[in-house]
Amino acid sequence: MTECQNKYAVLCGFGAYDRSYSHVRSTAQLSHIYSTKRKDTAMFSRKIAGAALAAAALALVMTGCSSPSAAPDSGNAAEGANSDIKICVYTHGDGGTFWAVAQKGAEDAAASLGVTLDYQGSTNDSAKQASTIDAGVTGGCDGIAASAPDPGAITDAMLAAADAGIPTVTVNSGSAVFKDLGAFTHVGQDEIVAGREAGLKFNDLGATKILCPIQEAANSGLTDRCAGAAETFGGEVVQFNVDGALADLTGAEAKIRSALQADGSIDGVFALNSDVATGAVIPAVAAVNPDIIVGTVDLSSDALTAISDGTLAFAIDQQQYAQGYLAVELLYLAVKDAIKLGGGQPMYTGPAFVTKDNVEAVRASVEAGTR
């Protein structure tokens, strides 16, 4: 093995989260197992942080290895040394708070590597996302990353990419189906695992009945979060449809408020998006019963403020900047040097928890657009 090859061996051992406990059924068994498994959440953050740093270092190393006569500095990347490589990231994103951070990650990676990036969101239109992938296959994409909240809708398009010899990964959603879509790995958060951890957190906070509002009816990842919470939560989890909430937070707030008024036994709300949490759930809770415990998935400046002032108990951070960044880096390595990382397993970027104990430590990153 040459010195150059040895430098990128560091990422070969990056593995997947242990899901061997998925056969356990009883609440008692789950509570016992998860009391030990909860340490994995911190491990996830450390692992993905290490992977991100290693991948960044690896990209610089490979630039130097592939072109010995060129100085491996940021100047070459800025001048588009790899501009003939076109990386395409096609998500179901709507351009809101969450997806803006994921897009920044992809753009920063592309700028660092000097590749050409085509980033497009479909605003939760699965048919549009599929047609965008199809257009990318014929339009010169060398590598494609796609989110898969509705995998059936993009299966044909993703398999067409694979058949054309284009390396693909899934990003954000698709951890359970990425192989079926022809992708070599998935970068994101396992939504069942995130939900399970949320259920345990609500147990710790003393909740007995949780409302779980789903803002995108066709997004299987959101129902997985609610289902995961139901596996570990000691009480009842009620899924509640607020489809289109991100486009109409005022209307969503009215629906959630009505649900809370109709069932006084609900003492917790698990929001699945930070904008829904701060723009709809928290106002509804304030109007009905401020003692209701609110938790959410994902971060925003408003969510951090709510955590600081105590109206939001926690936020689950899936670290979407890393999702965008790593998707581009992984595809770059696959295209340029035929390196496919992940070992056929997902690369997890979460879940990690932000609470009042650590909110100030992450605030600067959120405001910089990297969390």
Q: Is the pTM of this model over 0.75?
A: no
SS (H, E, C) the chain: CCHHHHHCHHHCCCCCCCCHHHHCCCHHHHHHHHHHHCHHHHHHHHHHHHHHHHHHHHHHHHHHHHCCCCCCCHHHHHCCCEEEEEEEEEECCCCCHHHHHHHHHHHHHHHHHCEEEEEEECCCCHHHHHHHHHHHHHCCCCEEEECCCCHHHHHHHHHHHHHCCCCEEEEECCCCCCCCCCCCCEEECCHHHHHHHHHHHHHHHCCCEEEEEECCCCCHHHHHHHHHHHHHCCCEEEEEECCCHHHCHHHHHHHHHHHHHHCCCCCEEECCCHHHHHHHHHHHHHHHCCCCEEEEECCCHHHHHHHHHCCCCEEEECCHHHHHHHHHHHHHHHHHHCCCCCCCCCEECCCEEECCCCHHHHHHHHHCCCC
Convert 30-59 to b/e letters by CB count within 10 Å (16 or more is b). Answer: beeebeebbebbeebbebbeebbebbbebb
What does residue 296 show for φ and ψ, rounded to 5 degrees? -145, 170
Q: How many angstroms separate the CA atoms of 93 and 173, rounded?
A: 11
Least confidently predicted of 17-21, 86-90, 191-195, 355-359 = 17-21
Model pLDDT, residue 26: 37
Virtual CA dihedral for 230, 232, 233, 235, nearest 10 degrees?
80
Mean pLDDT for 312-324 is 96
Given a cut of 60, is residue 42 above it in pLDDT?
Answer: no
- Token pair, residue 141, equals 């994409």
Model pLDDT, residue 72: 31
- Looking at residue 339, its amino acid is I
Model pLDDT, residue 91: 97
CA distances from 17 to 14, 44, 45, 346, 359 (A): 10, 8, 12, 8, 25
- Token pair, residue 149, equals 């909240």
Mean pLDDT for 215-228 is 93
Identify the bridge partners of residue 133 per DSSP, sorted by sequence position.
none
List of residues 6+ apart from 120 with CB closer than 8 A: 88, 89, 90, 91, 132
pLDDT digits (tens, 9 = 90+) for 20-32: 333 333 333 434 4
Q: What angle do CA 353, 359, 361 make, to 5 degrees?
A: 105
Burial class of residue 208, CB neighbours in 10 A (0-12, 13-18, 19+)? middle
Given a cut of 80, is residue 58 above it in pLDDT?
Answer: no
Residue 330: band (very low, low, confident or very high) from pLDDT cuts 50, 70, 90: very high
Domains of the chain and any CATH numbers: 42-189+319-350 (3.40.50.2300), 191-317 (3.40.50.2300)
More confident residue, 328 or 41: 328
Residue 80: band (very low, low, confident or very high) from pLDDT cuts 50, 70, 90: low
Strongest mean pLDDT among 3-12, 22-31, 35-44, 300-309:
300-309
- Looking at residue 181, its amino acid is L
